[in-house]
Structure 1
Amino acid sequence: MKRLAGALGGVVAGVLVLGVWACTPRTSAEAGPTSGKRGAEPTMSTGIEIASLATLFEERRLAFSPDGKWLAVSARSSGLSVYEAGSGRVVKHLAPSGAISRVGFDATGKRLFATLGSDLLVWTVPAWAPSPPDSWGSEHFLLHPTRPWVARANSTSEVEIREIGGYHFGPEGQLGVAHGGMLDDFADLAFDDDGRVVVGEPGQFRVYRLQPFAEVGSIPRGQLDTIRSLEIRKDVLLATTSRGATGALTALDWPSGAPRYTLPLPGGGVAMAVDRAGHWAAVAYVSSGTPQAPVGGVAVVDIAGRKVTRTIEAVPAPVSVALSPDGRQAAYAGSDGAPLHVVDLASSKALWNR
């Protein structure tokens, strides 16, 4: 199989030692490196293993609509709600409490999807009228940001890519099945804008073309085996990683896979969101505390500038983060029951909390 790139360098994750933080978010000035150099060794261990927080990551999900008007928020205790992103006004409570594991708007912004157990729930936007649930046997899905495609995990732990027809995903809509052995949380899957999908498995990423469906190559993963989030924007593939209590954001050239830079994060990266243009990334991280009371924040990354421009410190640590498509607003929330925060990304000023 044709290689798209040479082997990746090892990921060196840095950690910053943070003090005790107040319960309201605070920002810190320019943090992290301003070049593509490898991160420094951590000065001490924070003592919290990111893997021990896995159950918390499923408790909250956030998604902006493509026009940035709506913010969908799920929580195990209160179900799925939609907010007016600019004001924080509650627009609609859509689903009862339960294990909602994924939330997302389709590329048109006319439909909102969520998974409750193995059922796919769909609402039309902005009427918020429900469609009959589609029992498709998977808790995981990923919607393409600009095209009518969806990926889901099938019963053999592979990834099935389908074209959205109506809202059902019948056999006639299948584009193909991709191999993948590390996709329990869909952290190792990303679409690009040119009709390709990258799927992680042990030791490598497989790259597929979707129309017509075919495997077109692979990228060695090197030491990127603890990926928490994966995103593709234009010519860059971004991966947040965690190892123990440390974390990093690694940028690779896309689609060659050549290493571009690695930025140490203030803690283990647990979630990432990127604006539509690929200018900014917001990375939720956990730096200290305990699995019951994690401490962390959100690192704001200038992707082209190769630097963490600021951190928004938060207690409890956020487990989910979303960026508005224009990159002006960031939303983040801790585990179930923790406040939801929406901030202005440029200034980190709080816009509203719930």
Structure 2
Amino acid sequence: MTASFDGTVRFWAVGDIQQFTPAVLAADPQRGLVAVGGENGAIALFRDAAGPAQQLRHHSDAIELLAFSPDGRWLAAASADGAASIWEVATGRLQASIPHEARVRTVAFNSDGSLLVTSSRLHAFLWRWQESTTRPLVTLDLSQLMKTDIITGAAIHPTQPWLAIVTRDGKTLIWDYRAMQVVVEAADDRANGRAQFSPDGSLVVSESNEGTLLLRESASLRLRDLPATHRGGIAGFAFDPSGTLIATIGFDQTAKIWRIADGVEITRMGTDGVPAAIAFSSASDVAIAGANGSVVRLPIDVAPALELALVRSRRPTAEECDRYQLAREDATLCANP
């Protein structure tokens, strides 16, 4: 990986895990926890930036998604082998394995860690999680509601009894799991990927097959204008803990940080190959997993990054071109008028 804004990079080592290619990543910004899921089904759990990874093994196929519980006690994993698992973070012990009908694409805790949502094919499942036991609460069968494609993403609202569901054929819906009914739905020609609510629940976001983020207001599913794009497509995204920033990675081998309020691209970082996943590992750091096997933490200093973003938005002066070395990035920015 290359190029944080201030040039500082911290590496986590996953090379000691045999045949480990990072596929997904989750972080707990409050406690500095980072977990990386591999294409071989292994999970690398880092409890601090300096320490070695603990290897968690249970799954026989790729890890599709990871999620920490809000209190940092539990780590949940979704796998292509048709199971979801829950691990105790302090010990690395497997606490529960939940079989599904097919590939599990989604796993997420609610705001107090008592509920877990998973999804597989046309079904979304809500589970009660208490210590080391899971109890099924609600199952949503999309085939009974509409003609649609498989569920690619599901998320649970932090305060309302809502699930956000997105499908491969472009449908987005908010489903009330207490009333057992659809609150609102929207259709789009662009296929959806994963889904995530903002920390305050006001927004729900998914990535499209056109290389853009689809940012919607949760209550109405009205699209918000956010010019978050990557050439070739978006490979992952993550909100910062405050919900004011969103990070994206793309197949154009870049990572970008956006300010949600006005869509300003605050900073852009080049990556060594196509990145696999991104998450905020603290309020001022992002963790990025690369398909080449690297996992790095990059500090983000928002103030100077925003200053640079504003310079990029207009024709820079000669002094700014020299200070920020903009000609290296784009020769046209500093071309003589």
Q: TM-score of the superposition, structure 2-length normalised?
A: 0.71
Secondary structure of residue in 2 paired with 1:169:
strand
Q: CA deviation at 1:99?
A: 2.1
Are 1:308 and 2:265 an aligned pair? yes
In structure 2, the partner of 1:299 is 256
**Count, aligned residues:** 277
- Note if contact 1:64-1:322 (Cα within 8 Å) is conserved in structure 2: yes
Equivalent position amino acid for 1:303 in 2:
I
Equivalent position amino acid for 1:307 in 2:
V
In structure 2, the partner of 1:248 is 212
- Note if contact 1:208-1:217 (Cα within 8 Å) is conserved in structure 2: yes
Equivalent position amino acid for 1:344 in 2:
P
Decide whether aligned partners of structure 1 residues 197 and 264 sit closer, same or farther in structure 2, where only a CA change above 3 A counts: same
Instruction: Provide the C-alpha distance between the structure 2 equivalents of 1:78 and 1:151, rounded to a whole number of angstroms.
Output: 20
Decide whether aligned partners of structure 1 residues 174 and 73 sit closer, same or farther in structure 2, where only a CA change above 3 A counts: same
Q: Deviations over 1:91-124 (max 9, x none)?
A: 4222278424232222332112224523333322
Are 1:25 and 2:8 an aligned pair? no
- Note if contact 1:191-1:198 (Cα within 8 Å) is conserved in structure 2: yes
In structure 2, the partner of 1:163 is 128
Secondary structure of residue in 2 paired with 1:262:
coil
Q: Which runs of 5+ in 2 are unaligned?
A: 7-20, 306-337
- Note if contact 2:118-2:125 (Cα within 8 Å) is conserved in structure 1: yes
Q: How does 1:141-180 map to 2 (within 5 A)?
A: 141-147=106-112, 148-154=114-120, 157-170=122-135, 173-179=136-142
Q: CA deviation at 1:329?
A: 1.8
Q: CA deviation at 1:78?
A: 8.2
Determine which structure has the larger helix proportion and give its number.
2
In structure 1, the partner of 2:224 is 260
Instruction: Provide the C-alpha distance between the structure 1 equivalents of 2:43 and 2:128, rounded to a whole number of angstroms.
Output: 25
In structure 2, the partner of 1:274 is 239
Decide whether aligned partners of structure 1 residues 196 and 133 sit closer, same or farther in structure 2, where only a CA change above 3 A counts: closer
Are 1:125 and 2:94 an aligned pair? no
Task: Specify which of 45, 54, 58 is matched with residue 92 of structure 1.
Answer: 54
Q: TM-score of the superposition, structure 1-length normalised?
A: 0.68
Q: CA deviation at 1:152?
A: 2.1
- Note if contact 2:247-2:258 (Cα within 8 Å) is conserved in structure 1: yes
In structure 2, the partner of 1:343 is 298
Decide whether aligned partners of structure 1 residues 162 and 195 sit closer, same or farther in structure 2, where only a CA change above 3 A counts: same
Decide whether aligned partners of structure 1 residues 166 and 327 sit closer, same or farther in structure 2, where only a CA change above 3 A counts: same
Instruction: Provide the C-alpha distance between the structure 2 equivalents of 1:260 and 1:90, rounded to a whole number of angstroms.
Output: 41
Please provide the CA RMSD for this pair. Answer: 3.0
- Higher Cα Rg, which structure: 2
Instruction: Provide the C-alpha distance between the structure 1 equivalents of 2:286 and 2:150, rounded to a whole number of angstroms.
Output: 26
Decide whether aligned partners of structure 1 residues 182 and 315 sit closer, same or farther in structure 2, where only a CA change above 3 A counts: farther
Q: Deviations over 1:23-69 (max 9, x none)?
A: x412589xxxxxxxxxxxxxxxxxxxxxxxxxxxx951111136332
Percent identity, aligned pairs only, is: 12
Instruction: Provide the C-alpha distance between the structure 2 equivalents of 1:27 and 1:269, rounded to a whole number of angstroms.
Output: 19
- Note if contact 1:63-1:73 (Cα within 8 Å) is conserved in structure 2: yes
Equivalent position amino acid for 1:345 in 2:
I
Q: Which runs of 5+ in 1 are unaligned?
A: 1-23, 30-57, 288-295, 350-354
Equivalent position amino acid for 1:227 in 2:
N
- Note if contact 2:226-2:262 (Cα within 8 Å) is conserved in structure 1: no
- Note if contact 2:25-2:279 (Cα within 8 Å) is conserved in structure 1: yes
- Note if contact 2:74-2:89 (Cα within 8 Å) is conserved in structure 1: yes
Equivalent position amino acid for 2:209 in 1:
S
Secondary structure of residue in 2 paired with 1:277:
coil
Equivalent position amino acid for 2:215 in 1:
A
Q: Flag the structure with more relative contact order, 1 or 2, with Cα contacts below 8 A and sequence separation at least 6.
A: 1
Q: CA deviation at 1:331?
A: 1.0
Q: CA deviation at 1:285?
A: 0.6
Task: Specify which of 196, 217, 230 is matched with residue 195 of structure 2.
Answer: 230
Decide whether aligned partners of structure 1 residues 183 and 99 sit closer, same or farther in structure 2, where only a CA change above 3 A counts: same
